[in-house]
Structure 1
């Protein structure tokens, strides 16, 4: 038996492309930034790692500095990788995002096995920093104070064939006392409308049927070039793009939400009847302490106007419980506004100090047990309202955009999953003998049951199940073929037995 040449073996190993994985914490902006990171790494010759093969050669953490315990979550993850890094010295670890922008060299002091730390303003530098760290055998730290290049000019690897994120602005001009984002993302910078629409058109040409416009405060879009109605004009322009079936946006600010935006939503058919409108608190005193430049009456007035023009709109929100100085009456004011608002769901958070924010040094920091008790009362109220609002959907016909992520119980329930036009999660079954949809296809059927966090549609007859195959479904087929994945369920799977799906639009956990 011949002995293989060691040099030849090493050369073969070195020719194998390195693998990467991106671990994302935080908001939709971070999810979109992670698509850019993935695109950059693949442009540099890396391939996405298979979790079954273990940890990838390059691990990138895209961090958040807003969510509770963000620091502990990052350093806990980094600590778990330290032994592996000792075993595999050629493995590289990079930390980017808001926490990297904030902590900077603290990360390297606490976790000296990290190879690269980069900020929110220089995502595009990551491949160069990784290569420099490898060449010099030395950690690289590069944090810029202003945006180097608008992220949308960077290569992207999208996680969904049918849906895409599109940034219309970065940064924020508000000064909310609980939020550290403006100091990490900088002042608002707006993209030109033509650049945004060109990116959307390119996505549609690639098979995308749904886009979400992103910004820290999307409805202040246009402030940089002096057009107060720029956002409503942008929504209407999206309505002119053939093949674009669904348009969403997040997140607006109540103080800057104007009637022309409501009119554009109501009069543009592909702008969905769904609105995320952050409340934060129902107490006018707490809103003032938060430097939120609106009060509860104005907030409720916006919801009334939206529902007058778009009667079936589903409205979601963000709420912070236990802000410094919050009294029992302040909290009751929040409960009253939540009851009146009839949100379909809510992101609810317990206030936690974020170093560097004015709220962190305010008097009246509340004990954990008080915040926890109020949080439980709020979520119980919202859970009830969500269940009641979902119950109103029973018997209505909905159009569902089928998603790739069909849930943990799909194999047991034999149901697929998707999102209705108002963004409610719908689990639906395919009648025996009917064609199974592909991710990206549209299914129209009737809601038969409701729970607090989802709807169920089990059509009793073939007549109550209409499938519309879409360009997005075709794009999913192409993506599966390109990645040597499983065949599309529409071509091979039988009803009630969907095939394994490997792609998925990133979702964020929602606590209602």
Structure 2
């Protein structure tokens, strides 16, 4: 959700005439799009703001804006701790950013604007998509759950759903631009329909996406076990372009802890969903979120989490140490767990999940997979001369685009280079806990409209930027190179 909001912020600024800066310290505007889920977000924000203070002092006219969940929560605190910040805006008014920046410049004082409810659904705002071949599509904002560890509902508000026709119109427009994969987004994505009075709206939406010609892959994140109904499983299994991949947050395997978290399911219910998903889609890859060290968690409770992990056999788990967030019920609970105990349990959980992830990935060796080539997925791609992408089940696959078959030619290569957005068919030869490797030649390379879109984007000339500040007196200076204006949005 934060990444997609950052795309919108970039789109707003580009619509106002700015272009992305080549480096943060060269920017005329730096926007921090913040998260409030974990405590380290606070530390990172104020650390980055402190580092930018001398940079701003040396660059007259430079502006700094802070938005997102942490801005919604802290409000005036940000300007008090970092008075060199020009704009603070919340989760409900990201569309006001260009206006707030201009107002701060004209009035020469910080602008703090926090709305308490959503003014306009964010998807109506201009968006600068980070990818030419895959796109986020928000189907709802806000959340109606009251999990005791989570501050997001207080910052994002109650769930508000988009109309199905608006969602499908956006999906179709994206496909027309070359996108072949969309991920449907919601704070509780499969609760979609509660705001419009249709309990099966989400499964209907999945099936409708299956009828969009040219859309090859549909994903969604993140669902809630409470709302994960049989009609959703059927839609996943029966709609060819809905991927057999599911991210289902567990949080804890202990019924006692789940009750304290105010999660509306228990271990048996959760494992029952996993069993149904695997019965309908035996090849499904399932990932999860787990919190370690929630207040009151006993060793027995933690063992129940380990038991659930062993039973579920997740392909991947995002594991977190409980972070005390002011304003949440859990922050005031008795039984806060000592840091050293949380750390020890966390390490045990990570070790178990690493072992399971590796075993599950080894089961992919020998399989032939279609990989959607991605950009920036492989940190070592440049050094290893490989490309990377995602299999249908979202596993990360590295492959060598130059590997040649017995005839000395790259198999299936129509003569052009493999581009992000193209589909490569490869055989998996090696597995690690977090990735797969195809060491032989590709069986086929399919050039796609998504690859064409990527090529158009990367070959297009960069637009000229808009400079800030007053014109200088005297002879004009040499024309600047394509300008830096909007710094990187960071969550």
TM-score, scaled to structure 2? 0.91
Which residue of 2 is the match for residue 313 of structure 1? 284
> Does 2:437 match 1:456?
yes
Q: 2:470 is matched with which residue?
A: none
Whether contact under 8 Å (2:253, 2:304) holds in the other structure is yes
Structure 2 residue aligned with 1:359: 330
Aligned residue in 2 for 1:334 = 305
Counterpart pick for 2:398 among 427, 435, 438: 427
Q: What is the match of residue 503 of structure 1? A: none
Aligned with residue 423 of structure 2, among 411, 419, 442: 442
Q: Which residue number corresponds to residue 384 of structure 1?
A: 355
1:475 aligns with 2:456: no
1:169 aligns with 2:169: no
Provide the secondary structure at the position in 2 that maps to 1:237: helix
2:444 corresponds to which of 452, 462, 466: 466
Q: Which moved more, 1:152-161 or 1:474-483?
A: 474-483
1:277 is aligned, of 245, 248, 252, to 248
Which residue of 324, 329, 344 maps to 2:315?
Answer: 344
Give deviations 1:164-216, integer Å, cap 9, x for gaps. 00000000000000000000000000000000000000100000000000001
CA–CA distance in structure 1, aligned partners of residues 313 and 30 of structure 2: 42
Q: Is the 8 A contact 2:39 2:323 kept in 1?
A: yes
CA distance in 1, matches of 2:436, 2:296: 38
For residues 17-166 of structure 1, what are the structure 2 equivalents within 5 Å? Answer: 29-51=1-23, 54-166=25-137
Please give the per-residue CA displacement for 1:459-480, whole angstroms capped at 9, x wherever unaligned. Answer: 1x5xx52000000000011101
Q: How far is 1:414 from its partner?
A: 1.7
- Residue 194 of structure 2 corresponds to 223
Superposition deviation, residue 458 in structure 1: 1.1
Distance 1:46 1:356 in 2: 37
Cα distance in structure 2, aligned partners of 1:484 and 1:392: 45
CA–CA distance in 2 between the matches of 1:89 and 1:478? 36
Superposition deviation, residue 70 in structure 1: 1.3
Give the aligned partner of residue 294 of structure 1: 265
8 Å Cα contact 2:38-2:324 kept in structure 1? no
- Residue 199, structure 1, aligned to residue 199, structure 2: no
After superposition, the C-alpha distances for 1:109-161 in whole angstroms (9 at most, x for unaligned) are: 00000000000000000000000000110100000000011000000000000
Residue 224 of structure 1 deviates from its aligned partner by 0.8
Offset at residue 484 of structure 1 (A): 5.8
- Name the residue aligned to 1:490: none
Structure 2 CA distance for aligned equivalents of residues 216 and 338 of structure 1: 24
Higher mean C-alpha deviation, range 400-409 or range 226-235: 400-409
2:25 and 2:55 in contact (8 A); partners too: no
Q: Distance in 2 between matches of 1:469 and 1:180?
A: 44
Q: Any residues of structure 2 matched to 1:486-505 within 5 Å, and which?
A: none
- The equivalent position to 1:247 in structure 2, one of 218, 236, 245, is 218
| Aligned-pair CA distance for 1:67 | 2.3
- Determine helix, strand or coil for the equivalent of 1:453: coil
* Matching residue within 321, 346, 351 for 1:375: 346
CA distance, structure 2, for counterparts of residue 344 and residue 375 of structure 1: 18
Distance 1:346 1:293 in 2: 21
CA RMSD of aligned residues (A): 1.4
Displacement after TM superposition at 1:408 (Å): 2.9
SS at match of 2:167: helix
Where do 5+ consecutive residues of structure 2 fail to align? Answer: 464-487
Q: What residue in structure 1 maps to residue 184 of structure 2?
A: 213
Deviation at 1:445, TM superposition (A): 1.0
- Count of aligned residue pairs for this structure pair: 456
Distance 1:357 1:135, change over 3 A: same
Aligned to 1:262, what secondary structure does the other structure show? Answer: helix
Query: Distance between the aligned counterparts of 1:84 and 1:411, measured in 2?
Result: 31
3-state SS, counterpart of residue 26 of structure 2 = coil
Mean CA deviation greater in 466-475 or 85-94: 85-94
5+ long unaligned stretches in structure 1: 1-28, 486-505
Q: Which residue number in structure 2 is paired with residue 21 of structure 1?
A: none
Distance 1:65 1:477 in 2: 37
Question: Which range is displaced more, 407-416 or 392-401?
Answer: 407-416
Deviation at 1:455, TM superposition (A): 0.3
Instruction: Give the SS at the match of 1:372.
Output: helix
User: How far 1:415 sits from its partner (Å)?
Assistant: 1.1
The 3 A distance-change label for structure 1 pair 407 and 178 is: same
Task: State the distance in 2 between where 1:95 and 1:484 align.
Answer: 27
CA–CA distance in structure 2, aligned partners of residues 282 and 68 of structure 1:
23
Structure-1-length-normalised TM-score: 0.88
Taking the aligned partners of 2:377 and 2:81, their CA distance within structure 1 comes to 39
